[in-house]
Structure 1
Amino acid sequence: MGRQAELSRYRYMSDSFTTRPEIRGTFGVVSSTHWLASQVAMSVLERGGNAFDAAVAGGFALQVVEPHLNGPGGEVPIIFWSEREQRTRVLCGQGPAPKLAEPAYFRAMGLEQVPGIGLLPACVPGAFGAWLTLLRDHGTWELADVLAPAMSYARQGFPLVPRIVSAIIAVQALFREEWTSSADVWLPGGEVPDANALFRLPALAQTYARVIERAEAAGTTREGRIDAALDAWYDGFVAEAVDRYYRETAVRDTTGERNTGLLRREDMAGWRPAYEDPATLDFGRYTVAKCGPWSQGPVFLQQLSLLKHLDIGAHAPDSFGFVHRLAEATKLAFADRLAWYGDPERHDVPLAQLLSNDYARERARGVGATAATALQPGSPDGRPPVLPDTGVSARTLTTADTRYGVGEPTFAQLPPVAQWLPREIFVGDTCHIDVIDAQGNMVAATPSGGWLSSSPAIPELGFSITTRLQMSWLDEGLPGGLQAGKRPSTTLSPGLALRDGKPYMVFGTPGGDQQDQWTVAFFLRHAVHGMDLQSAIEAPSWHVDHGPASFWPRTTVLNRLTVESRMPEATLAALREAGHEVKVGGPWSEGRISVCTREPDGQGGLLLRAGANPRGMQGYAVGR
């Protein structure tokens, strides 16, 4: 497989047109979902910071320039390679459910699901803690310095991408009529912002200024100042403001009622991000590392494990054989996610068995010549799978108030539910950033949550809190079920890969349930078929809907395969003939991938590469 990939690589490099070049250099590379975040991170490298400093600065910039997709009150899983430690680690920035958040609380309200917006679906916001922990333990810069670019954009203004304005238009009635604190932030002067004007977030800038002021007053060392900032956020004025608002303010949500929240200062004070070992799988020359089963990361690994037994290298990336095999492996892996994934600190998740070669071989026997039409979770070690009540979505929608939005970020004005449900009007995304420095440190992070339409802005702080709890089922005893103090399952899934035992790639994408579909196809195009990074990103792609969605209202769709229209017509015809419900999307509609790689340059240094997604005309890779 390795020799075939190397030979193919030269063919794709010489023959394929891409919308932008594969970036190559030796000093440093960055790729992210927004050009400003990429440039911010690169500027840190240029001024002597390392990959960790750069990723943190870029991550904070993303909170400002992509506020419809993530925010200061969100979460972020981070996976990284440390040259100093010579190992891969995961830093979990996914906060847990509040102590008051139990299934019985929601059932007493007459609910069968955690609402998708408002105050009730909040969990501890983990992004700030994770970014600062990474900076303290692996970075070199002061907090004030890494926050400076984000604060500058918040104070002086940043350009709005069209989807930010679309998101505000979609929820402006909610802001005007109910969430007036959000109207103060996102409807300045009572008007939808002009897409051609700079936009400012003065309240957020002031919040960060207060954090820095307290940090510098309390800490005598760089690490001490960062710890003081963490205390200000999780047990100081930020936590106090969150507690007060969530206790005292009742806001409209998808129940149709006004409800107060469950998040409290003590929930925030009792949490800090934790380091973990990654879940890994060997695949040819590569060892792929992902976050644990509290994320959907192992779904990527399960698909690779299955595909070892399906001869995926014998099928061209735009062929029926390639798409069909990968789509069917996706169905099986995601069915296992539904039955088995959850917080391993609270549940016995059989991850070793799910990733074992014997289990994959057995599951691969279920992949036939036609499309599967039913959910088929497996039985690792003979344990019977238990699925949630997937009919809950239809029952919820008979009484829910969907006038103001759903669980994921919205990019269109809201029609009646009967119109948007079958047409998938609501398309969610998040953010991603990858960085590699000249020393070889590597970071991949996928920040999300706390987007502007998720919950009301807290007046004293100028930002919203995550609603990730909507991804927890209320069924008792499920690994993915709601439990106080437990991490909700998340779709966020940064990745890292070693090649021939040496650190090689960091990568990821926004996209909810599609994250570990788009990136698997990308990885195979590169690792098996030898495409360069940019060609592998830009190749025609697809995603599968086969099970309940992760975001409220968690509607179940089976056997739908949405494919970019650039896919060959012969492939589309063969997929239909095999029984896939094929939906042809726009030519550039599937994928948001960012990627950076490193490899020996043959002279004692490193050759660095990067690629970025052209879809949406927003992501960018930079480097030199």
Structure 2
Amino acid sequence: MSYNQNKFDFITRPVLRSRKFSVTSGHYLSSLAGIRILEQGGNAIDAAAATSFCLNIIRPDNNGIAGEVPTLVYSAKDKKVFAISGVGWSAKSFNIDWCKKNNVDIIPGDGYLPATVPAPVGTWALALARFGTMGFSEVLQPAIELAENGFPIHEQLQQTLNNYFKSGKTFPTTDEIFCPNGIVPDVGDRIVNIDAANTLKKLCLAEKKGRKRSRITGLEAATDAFYRGEIAETIIDFIHKNPVEDISGRSFKGMLDLEDFSEWHATIEEPEVINFRGLDVFKCPSWTQGPTFLQHLAILDTFDLEKIGHNTEEYLHILIESGKLAFADREAYYGDPDFDNVPLDVLLSKSYNLNRKESIKKSASMEMSPGLVSGKVPDFATSFDVISDNRKALGLDNGELPDFDQTGIHTGGDTVHLDTVDSFGNMVSSTPSGGWLAKYSPVIKSLGFPLGTRGQMFYLNPSRPNALSGRKRPRATLTPGIATKDGLPYLAFGTPGGDSQEQTTIQFFLNHHVFGMNLQEAIDAPNCVIEHFPSSFYPREGIPGGVTVDGRVPQNIIDGLKNRGHKVKVGKPYSVGEVSAISLEAEKEGLISSAASAHGGLAYAISR
């Protein structure tokens, strides 16, 4: 490994090393909750569930109970990795024909149209039943306490609430919890969410009644209480009786109905995997962008990265250009495999990606260039213009296209991430998101949370993968990662960041595995992200050739990238990415190492 350990004379935090267990997450209080469960005798799955529900409560700016939570689990008992589909589906009645009839040419990023069935409750109930040792009555207790007793408001949440008030349109159900008396709380003020606490208590009560037979039947009863009982009924009644105006300026009532809730179930699936230099790297299937990471790795594996050198001009150019190829294939081929024929056997193959390497030139590409799997590359796959493609497919002529200011339109939050490892050898990587506080997505009365908006990621061209259809999972950007070594769990990792998630994590992964950096060095090292594809988020704009680099990248490297034709924007130091990770080294007597990005100041790793 060629990395010079003295290249960076400063890291933001130490690597935490221990022997028993570890938790990382997007808030120190949620990490503490996970540790609490582990100290009570729970395993990594129990701890992950507790951590996730705490994040729902204390990071409502970035995730919520009605959002999504794609999850990877390494089961020590089964000695393998599983993916849990923590993504809800769209309403059965919400389809492309409906959009055409109602003159909708792009799915908004807020309001009720993009809402999908909330996934966290069903996902964690399934994870606990299959891999855990506890029930909701145990793992929900820390979240109930935080909601009931309150937590100190942090800077990110205050900023979200300030933006919400500046929008000029507020909702009483949101205000009474997060902005009492019409005033945004100061940093450090206490936020109390009794409604959310009561919602979680209802799950525990239902579980207690059903648990008389077994732990599993208790979890099933709690799931029924959410999706097939009073909670679902409250959600549907609220969104049907209270239409909201979304970012488009039009008002719609909710499309979801009771059957959409009652018939949805989380599923355990086989993850996608490739071997990269001695590690088996696992990602969720193509209902996330996860395989993009694997394909990007497969292309990079055709280069001698150590010889090229870490973060040299050539290295960053190759990283950027190979990323463009992987993301072009994401746009051309990825979607819910229950609906779309996704040729991952080809896209992840060595021969295909060796051929893709030949597309990388010395100068920056301004084209979106998916690979040819069979037949002809469809026209839509080379376009950055989502609205025009939608309109053409729908046969709609809505006049002049909106002049979106990409940096000025933001309808929702970001994401959080968590990792857990226990002394039994279980490992979890999970990426909660969605269901966040948004300008035009009100908190559901008496429940304490808003619905999510993941459906904004659908296209309205029926010829495309990831095109809107009733009861289909949108291709989520959320993408946890796990790597194993010799069949044993080695690394759990992930990050917030929307479309950039696969980009910041792949640089972290290469920093650690190829260049020998420890976890914190790998997280802290300067990096870059591209915007050379349609954004997954409203208003779905892309920037051909666009790349943002960390402000610590040397000026001569930046100049070299510009000379190659890249449209470089320089960000602040440490501003790109928020990776957290845990490693478990069997060859070092089970040494656990963990680290979290200091960007934002809330994410923390805690170990014992």
Coarse TM-score class (shorter-chain normalised): over 0.9
In 2: Cα distance, 1:465 partner to 1:15 partner: 43
1:428 touches 1:512 (CA, 8 Å); kept in 2?
Answer: no
Q: Is the 8 A contact 2:90 2:472 kept in 1?
A: yes
Task: From 206, 230, 240, give the equivalent of 2:198.
Answer: 206
C-alpha contact 1:290 1:297 (8 A) present in aligned 2: yes
Q: For residue 43 of structure 1, what is the aligned residue in structure 2? A: 36
* Cα displacement (A) at 1:19: 1.4
What residue is the counterpart of 1:406 in the other structure?
Answer: none
Q: CA deviation at 1:215?
A: 2.3
Distance in 1, Cα, partners of 2:154 & 2:314:
38
Contact in 2 for aligned 1:13/1:531 (Cα 8 Å): no
CA contact (8 A) 1:172 1:183 kept: no
What secondary structure is seen at the aligned counterpart in 1 of 2:461? coil
Contact 1:394 1:555 in 2 (8 A): no
Report whether the alignment pairs 1:391 with 2:385: yes
1:450 aligns with 435
Tell me by how many angstroms 1:419 deviates: 8.5
Matched, 1:464 2:450: yes
Query: What is the CA–CA distance in structure 2 between the aligned matches of 1:49 and 1:478, rounded to whole Å?
Result: 44
Q: Distance in 2 between matches of 1:84 and 1:286?
A: 20
Report the Cα offset of residue 142 of structure 1.
Answer: 2.7
Go from structure 1 to structure 2 and tell me whether the alpha carbon gap of 1:219 and 1:531 turns closer, same or farther (over 3 Å shift): same
- After superposing on structure 2, the runs of 4+ consecutive aligned residues of structure 1 that deviate more than 6 Å are 394-400, 423-427
> 3-state DSSP class of the match of 1:611?
strand
The residue that corresponds to 2:417 in the other structure is 432
Aligned pair partner of 1:153 in 142, 146, 149? 146
Three-state SS of the structure 1 residue aligned to 2:484 is strand
CA change 1:601–1:499 in 2 (3 A) is closer
The equivalences for 1:272-291 within 5 A come to: 272-291=265-284
> Is 1:312–1:325's contact at 8 Å kept on the other side of the alignment?
no
Query: Does residue 180 of the first structure (1) align with residue 180 of the second (2)?
Result: no
Deviation at 1:532, TM superposition (A): 0.6
Q: What is the CA distance between 1:209 and its match in structure 2?
A: 1.4
> What is the match of residue 622 of structure 1?
606
Match of 1:248 in 2: 241
1:154-553 mapped onto 2 (5 Å cutoff) = 154-172=147-165, 177=169, 179-220=171-212, 221-387=214-380, 390-393=384-387, 420-421=405-406, 428-453=413-438, 455-553=441-539
Distance 2:81 2:360 in 1: 33
Paired residues of 2:366 and 2:544 also in contact (CA < 8 A) = yes
User: What does residue 394 of structure 2 align with?
Assistant: none
Q: Deviations over 1:83-102 (max 9, x none)?
A: 01111000001011110110
Q: CA deviation at 1:265?
A: 1.1
- Between stretches 277-286 and 164-173, larger displacement belongs to 164-173
Amino acid at match of 2:433: S
Deviation at 1:438, TM superposition (A): 1.0
- Contact kept, 8 Å, 1:13 with 1:532, in 2: the verdict is no
SS in 1 for 2:5: helix
Provide the rounded CA distance (Å) in 2 between the counterparts of 1:424 and 1:615: 23
- Gap runs ≥5 in structure 2: 392-396
1:569 counterpart residue number: 555
Q: TM-score, normalised by structure 1?
A: 0.92
Cα distance in 1, alignment partners of residues 424 and 349 from structure 2: 34
In 2, Cα distance between equivalents of 1:308 and 1:327: 14
Contact 1:74 1:126 (C-alpha < 8 Å) held by counterparts: yes
Give the SS at the match of 2:543.
strand
List runs of 5+ in structure 1 lacking aligned partners.
Answer: 401-416
- State the match for 1:611 in structure 2: 595
Q: Which amino acid aligns with 1:433?
A: L
Deviation of 1:386 after TM superposition, in Å, equals 4.8
CA apart distance, 1:254: 1.7
Could you tell me how far 1:394 is from its partner in structure 2?
7.4
Question: What amino acid is aligned across from residue 617 of structure 1 in structure 2?
Answer: G
**Contact 2:457–2:537 (8 Å) recurs in 1:** yes
Answer with 210-219 or 530-539: which moved more: 210-219
2:111 maps to amino acid? G
Distance 2:7 2:171 in 1: 54
Work out whether residues 91 and 273 of structure 1, in 8 Å CA contact, stay in contact via their aligned partners in 2. yes
Does structure 2 retain, via aligned residues, the 8 Å contact 1:67–1:452?
yes
| Structure 1 position 502, deviation (Å) | 2.6
Judged with a 3 Å threshold, the aligned counterparts in structure 2 of structure 1 residues 212 and 340 are, in CA distance, closer, same or farther, namely same
How many Å separate the matches in 2 of 1:529 and 1:421? 35
Assess if the C-alpha contact under 8 Å between 2:283 and 2:479 holds in 1.
yes
- The percent of aligned pairs where both chains have the same amino acid is 36
For 1:340-371, what per-residue CA distance to the aligned partner results, in whole angstroms no more than 9, with x for missing partners?
00011111111110011111011100111111
Quote the residue 1:115 is aligned against: 108
Contact 2:385 2:534 in 1 (8 A): no
Letter in 1 for 2:201: A
Change (3 A) 1:265 1:503: same
- One-letter amino acid matched to 1:180: P
SS at match of 2:318: helix
- 1:179–1:251: 8 Å Cα contact kept in structure 2? no
**Structure 1 residue 471: Cα displacement:** 0.3
Question: Which of 60, 67, 73 matches 2:66?
Answer: 73
- CA RMSD, Structure 1 to Structure 2 (Å): 2.2
Q: Distance in 1 between matches of 2:26 and 2:272?
A: 25
What is the rounded CA distance, in whole Å, between the counterparts of 1:566 and 1:424 in structure 2?
27
SS at match of 1:547: coil
* Alpha-carbon shift at residue 159 of structure 1 (Å): 1.4
Q: Is the 8 A contact 2:412 2:436 kept in 1?
A: no
